[in-house]
A and B are shown apart, each in its own frame.
Chain A
Amino acid sequence: MKHTPGWGLLKGLFETARNFVGSYYQPGRLTTIEYPDERLPVQENFRNFPMLIYDGADPERGLRCVGCKICEKECPPQCIYIVLERDRSGKVQKRPRLFDIDVSVCMSCQICVEVCPFDAIKMNTEYELSTGDRFGALLLRKAELAKPNEYYRRLHPTEAAEVDARLAAAAQAKAAAQAKEQAKLTAKPAKPAWSTQP
């Protein structure tokens, strides 16, 4: 039977007929997600475009970014643009005044995230970014990029926990070092090095 010519065609026809009937009473067969009405849950390690993380409640003051411009230099398609804040005397501050990412150029490579020494830039999972204004609305400004740390935790729980632990440990170590320094200072006032010589 198996070697009768034409048998394969009949088998194929039977298979598609089974699909046809089955698709009406076995909903599991239909893999379609009817997108605007229903969506797939976003995977934890999905990434789309970068965002800037801030701690606390104020997106301006809590911003982790210190404006070191490493990401700007490393970004392969050069889609990050940073201008540093200056105080009234013109001295540069450790804060970006402008931080723009052109998402029409960004290729989601995550290199900016890899190189940032301050865990300030992370990948967002937002993907419904279509807009009628293709120049203005695709250039994301600092205010649109700034996202609270809780948001980051929600998107990438595992990664965020690791980053939080590392930052907390660093903060602790820094506090301990500061305390030690303080203690040293109060115990014996520092003398100039030359004063120990006779």
Chain B
Amino acid sequence: MMETLDQLFVLLKRWVVGEFPAAWRLWLSPLIDAGAIIGVFAGLFAVTTLLERKGLGRLQNRMGPNRVGPFGVLQPLADGLKMLTKEDIVPRAADRVVHFLAPIAMVTPILLAYAVLPFGRNLVAVDFDAGLLFFFAVGAGTELAVFMAGWSSRNKYSLLGAMRGIAQMISYEVPLVLSAVAVVLVAGSLSLPSIVDSQAGYHWGWLARWHVFTPWGLAGFILFLIAATAESNRSPFDLPEGESEIIAGHLIEYSGFKYALFFLGEYLGLFAVSALGITLFLGGWQAPVPFLAWVPSYLWFGAKLLGCIALFIWLRGTMPRLRTDQLMNFAWKFMLPLVLVNLVVAALWHGTAAWGFFGAGATRWLLGGAVLWLTYSALSHALFTAPGRGPRTYRYAD
């Protein structure tokens, strides 16, 4: 019974496809997958905009939207209607074709990236051997969209925003990929479903074998989250949009439905990269404790995804925006060395997997943790005491 429930969507699709003549099946199957992914994640987008506004409000002691419907639950509907009925304005000097293509170029690659993510046991659109590679390859396409939007708008703020966006996304792509490489190193596979399988099982019958419970996995997960935040242009790394200085950056000349598409793309990117983080470090759709393993796998995945989204909202409600030089220093002088050391620690962990003496696990943990912690302290010390850095002194304000 639970087995059927766990495989519900897989069986449902198989049944629907089986109802059609054989000639159609080849085309129907991916269409159903695409439809389901778009439907589910667009719905999640609507829910998230509401949760985000509510959550941000509460984090700042405000109420958040509560006017449309009971407790404001119909707010996404109102927002959507507003977006759809707005006038679509294209600046006269804009490059019309590129301006039109940019939002599409934003959303399409992200939707493609969903194809390789396993949302549950057997619940993956394409079980691709190089799934991780595919994910990063298409994910990088959004950078092009940001620059297309900024360039084609023929507006100085757009261009500044797009240039900031490109610089930031390329810089943070490096730690993002390198932190994922550590997982590939240990799991020995680029296919996302098999990375999830490598995290199956429990230590001593209760502690899940997720990568996040290893020293390199914990560090890798945190680094991955930071890079993912920057990659999806979210606060505290929302410089490309920087409302207070460049007025929404590359989005400045977009209105109505095109703006909504950018918005959708940004959130879909956030979900995709969270889903990847879950797959790589948080055991994918696996249950955290063995006695809850009967809960359908996609529910576990959904719960973890919502948890990640909540974390991102929490971060957004807390952190002030960085300056561009701080952003770049952070990426190249802090994240990059740390993520390289993390790779070494992961290799160490993998190499010492055969240790069998008593307390081997604790020794490995302490060893890896110590290396990472020392690097972290040394790097941050070096960054804080570098010439021109450190606590500021104000001549007049004190």
Contacts and interface: CB of A to CB of B under 8 A. Distances in A.
Kindly name the residue among A4, A16, A17 whose own CB sees the greatest number of chain B CB atoms within 10 A: A16
B66 to A, nearest CB: 8
Contacts of B377: 4-5
A32 B66 CA distance: 12
Kindly name the residue among B55, B58, B317 whose own CB sees the greatest number of chain A CB atoms within 10 A: B58
Interface string A4-20: 11100100110111011
A29 interface: yes
B320 to A, nearest CB: 9
Given A5-B377, A5-B380, A32-B63, A23 B58 contact: yes
Contact of A6 (B58, B61, B380): B380
A31 interface: yes
A19 B55 CA distance: 10
B334 to A, nearest CB: 10
Interface in A126-140: none
Given A23-B58, A30-B63, A32-B62, A16 B318 contact: yes
Given A5-B384, A6-B380, A30-B63, A20 B55 contact: yes
Interface residues of A, number: 19
B62 A5 contact: no
A13 B58 contact: no
Interface string B44-80: 0000000000010011111100000000000000000
Range of interface residues on B (Cβ < 8 Å): 10 to 19
A15 B318 CA distance: 8
B64 to A, nearest CB: 10
A17 B314 CA distance: 8
B342 to A, nearest CB: 16
A22 to B, nearest CB: 8
A20 B59 contact: yes
A64 B384 CA distance: 71
Given A20-B59, A31-B61, 9 more contacts: A4-B377, A5-B376, A5-B380, A9-B318, A12-B319, A13-B314, A16-B59, A20-B314, A32-B63
30 contacts: A5-B376, A5-B381, A5-B384, A6-B380, A9-B318, A9-B319, A12-B318, A12-B319, A13-B314, A13-B315, A13-B318, A15-B318, A16-B59, A16-B60, A16-B314, A16-B317, A19-B59, A19-B61, A20-B58, A20-B59, A20-B314, A20-B317, A22-B61, A23-B58, A23-B61, A24-B58, A29-B61, A30-B62, A32-B62, A32-B63
Interface of A: 4-6, 9, 12-13, 15-17, 19-20, 22-24, 29-32, 34
Interface of B: 55, 58-63, 314-315, 317-319, 376-377, 380-381, 384
